[in-house]
Each structure stands twice: as structure tokens, then as C-alpha cells.
């Protein structure tokens, strides 16, 4: 099968942004309905990602109606088990059985929503599961609970819903437990569930000091790349910027491997346009990705692979630099 880009976007891209220094927001904060309407204005956008918690604001019927109206489908239902004080010390790996159970229930709810609204997958970005201080948690219990909770959700989602684990090094915790592509793959191998895989967020991969394309391959070798979040960042933090504005070459390389591996999932935008208009930021990201994909087409794949066989950077650069220089 050939790679065909399908663009999705997190609804949060259109929600308006705030941070700890500006709680009232850098622009107007808007609700789910308006977020969908705004997503509908982005040229080329075919899908959206939501959270199970969005349905506290909107019925599933209304949600489906709005998607249809805006020619959108849902590419992923993310599990929000980090956005309220209850989860401040953890969710899937919380030491308190009741809280852990509640977290798992939220994920199961996301599975049911996914089924109902036609999403192929749910997303597990476990933002609360980690620690802030040395010695704060017992890592053995942390891992055991984490694995058993994911297993329970994975089994519940069988056979039709994929469960994509989105790793991140840190934020909101100073250390998150599932922090790298390697750990995510190890989890997948330990669990051995066909429908449990990984999500690469480009900025998260950079933050974990990975080459995002290399992480894509690491996971793809095991057929575990279920979803992709695109954005850009300055490597030390999840800056969630417009695609391609900082890491031109690494974004190009990532898209090259999407093409090369015939990646069949969505290209999801995961940005926080703090001071920018969300619709314009998403539109520009899609335009940038399309332009980068055109450049990928200009690469002579056979020639690049021949150059790669020499393992010499001058040879590969000679092929690659031509797409812009």
C-alpha cells in the first residue's frame, strides 16, 4: 500500500491556550462545539482527535452530528486522566486502588466512545504517571500497576480498537514513567497484545533526545506505530509549535520514513498555538507538511539507499541537500 497523508488535528489546537503565568488565556478559551466548527475551517483537515472528557460538554450524538457537518471523522480518542486534581499523583499507576480503577474506567469509556463515534483508536498519554522528586515513588510498584492497567484496557479494547501509548519525557511531572520510544516498545513486547502500540509525538521524541525518524523505525519494525503527532519544538520542552519551523531536516526525514514504510495511520497535529490563531496555525502546518512531502518525492530513494550503504555522511548529504540547496 502506498502512503497517503491523512491530516487530523487535536481539537485542543482550537481551544485557546493558557499556561501557569496566564491562567485567563492568551486568547479566548472556547468549548468543544466551537472547536469542531473551527477544525472544519482548516483546509485539508479530514480528522480530529478528542478526549473522553470532552463528552462532559457534549453528547455523542451532537458530537457525531457536528463532525459530519464539518466533513470530519475522529481519528483518536485520547484518555484524559491528568486534567483534574484527583490525578495529581497518578492514574494508571496510582497506589490507591480506587483511583487506579477510576482511571481504567475512563479509558474504557474512551474505548466505548471510540466504538460509537467510529474512531479506530484511543490514546494513552499518561501525563500524571511519573514523579517529581527523587525517592518519591516505588518504581517497582509503579511499573507493575502501569503494566496491569494498560493490559486491562488493551484487553477491553480488543479486537477492534487500537490502544496507542504516547510517551513523553516530562511535563506535567518532572519525570514521566513512559518516557521514550524504547520503553514504549518494551511495554508492547512485555504485554504482547496485538492492539497495544505506540504514538510518536515529534516534539516528545526530540525532548527524549531521539531522532524521531529512528524512533519511527524502531516501532515500525514491530508493527507498533499506531499514530503520529506532529509539531515542532526546541528539544528541551514540549513547545508544540507549527510543523517544520525549527527542525526542517528531521521533519523531512520523519516524513521520508512515513513514505518508505507506507505508514497507514493519520498525521495528527498536536500544537499549542499560545499566541497564534489555531485555524491559521493548523492550516500552515498542513501546508508545510505537504511541501515537505513534495520534497520527499524529489529524493531519489534508490540513490539515497546506495549512499546509505557507504555509511558516509558526505554521500548521503549530497543526495539530500539537493531538495533545498
In the complex, what is the shortest distance from the CB of residue 223 to its own copies, in angstroms, rounded to a whole number? 13
Q: Are 125 and 78 in contact (CB under 8 A)?
A: yes
In the complex, what is the shortest distance from the CB of residue 210 to its own copies, in angstroms, rounded to a whole number? 8
With a CB cutoff of 8 Å and minimum separation 6, the contacts of 239 are 203, 231, 232, 233, 272
Sign of CA dihedral 259, 264, 270, 271: positive
In the complex, what is the shortest distance from the CB of residue 159 to its own copies, in angstroms, rounded to a whole number? 23
80 vs 161, beta carbon nearer its own copies: 80
65 vs 275, beta carbon nearer its own copies: 275
In the complex, what is the shortest distance from the CB of residue 305 to its own copies, in angstroms, rounded to a whole number? 6
In the complex, what is the shortest distance from the CB of residue 137 to its own copies, in angstroms, rounded to a whole number? 6
In the complex, what is the shortest distance from the CB of residue 69 to its own copies, in angstroms, rounded to a whole number? 27
25 vs 44, beta carbon nearer its own copies: 25
Q: Distance (Å, rounded) from C-alpha 67 to C-alpha 61?
A: 10
Q: Distance (Å, rounded) from C-alpha 64 to C-alpha 87?
A: 29
Task: Please provide the DSSP assignment of 59-105 as one string.
Answer: -HHHHHHHHHHTT-EEEEEE---SSSGGGTT-STT-SSHHHHHHHHH
8 vs 288, beta carbon nearer its own copies: 288
Q: Are 76 and 137 in contact (CB under 8 A)?
A: no
In the complex, what is the shortest distance from the CB of residue 244 to its own copies, in angstroms, rounded to a whole number? 7
109 vs 183, beta carbon nearer its own copies: 183
Q: Distance (Å, rounded) from C-alpha 314 to C-alpha 325?
A: 14
Q: Measuring CA to CA, which residue among 119, 100, 102 is closest to residue 111?
A: 119
263 vs 272, beta carbon nearer its own copies: 272
120 vs 130, beta carbon nearer its own copies: 130
Q: Are 177 and 170 in contact (CB under 8 A)?
A: no
Decide: residue 224, CB within 10 A, 0-12 exposed, 13-18 middle, 19+ buried: buried
Amino acid at each position: 500500500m502506498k502512503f497517503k497523508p491523512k491530516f487530523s488535528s487535536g481539537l485542543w489546537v482550537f481551544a485557546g491556550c493558557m499556561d501557569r503565568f496566564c491562567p485567563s488565556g492568551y486568547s479566548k478559551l472556547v468549548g468543544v462545539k466551537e472547536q469542531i466548527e473551527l477544525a472544519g475551517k482548516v483546509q485539508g483537515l479530514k480528522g480530529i482527535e478528542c478526549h473522553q472528557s470532552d463528552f462532559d460538554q457534549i453528547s455523542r450524538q451532537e458530537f457525531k452530528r457536528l463532525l459530519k457537518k464539518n466533513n470530519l471523522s475522529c481519528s483518536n480518542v485520547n484518555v484524559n486522566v491528568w486534567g483534574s486534581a484527583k490525578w495529581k499523583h497518578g492514574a494508571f499507576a496510582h497506589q490507591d486502588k480506587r483511583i487506579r480503577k477510576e482511571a481504567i474506567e475512563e479509558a474504557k469509556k474512551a474505548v466505548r466512545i471510540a466504538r460509537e463515534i467510529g474512531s479506530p483508536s484511543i490514546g494513552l498519554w499518561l501525563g500524571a504517571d511519573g514523579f517529581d522528586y527523587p525517592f518519591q515513588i516505588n518504581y517497582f510498584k509503579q511499573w507493575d500497576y502501569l503494566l496491569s492497567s494498560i493490559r486491562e484496557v488493551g484487553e477491553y479494547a480488543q479486537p477492534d480498537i487500537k490502544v496507542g501509548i504516547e510517551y513523553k519525557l516530562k511535563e506535567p511531572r518532572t519525570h514521566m514513567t513512559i518516557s521514550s520510544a524504547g520503553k514504549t516498545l518494551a511495554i508492547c513486547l512485555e504485554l504482547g497484545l496485538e492492539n497495544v502500540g505506540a504514538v510518536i509525538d515529534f516534539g516528545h521524541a526530540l525532548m527524549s533526545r531521539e531522532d524521531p525518524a529512528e524512533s519511527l523505525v524502531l516501532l515500525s519494525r514491530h508493527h507498533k506505530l499506531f499514530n503520529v503527532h506532529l509539531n515542532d519544538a526546541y528539544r528541551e520542552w514540549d513547545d508544540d509549535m507549527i510543523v517544520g519551523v525549527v527542525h526542517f531536516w528531521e521533519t523531512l526525514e520523519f516524513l521520508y520514513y512515513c513514505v518508505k514504510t507506507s505508514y497507514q495511520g493519520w498525521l495528527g497535529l498536536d500544537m499549542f498555538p499560545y499566541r497564534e490563531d489555531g485555524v491559521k496555525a493548523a492550516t500552515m502546518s498542513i501546508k508545510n507538511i505537504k511541501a515537505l512531502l513534495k520534497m520527499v518525492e524529489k529524493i531519489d530513494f534508490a540513490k539515497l539507499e546506495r549512499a546509505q550503504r557507504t555509511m558516509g555522511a558526505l554521500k548521503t548529504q549530497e543526495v539530500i541537500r539537493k531538495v533545498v540547496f
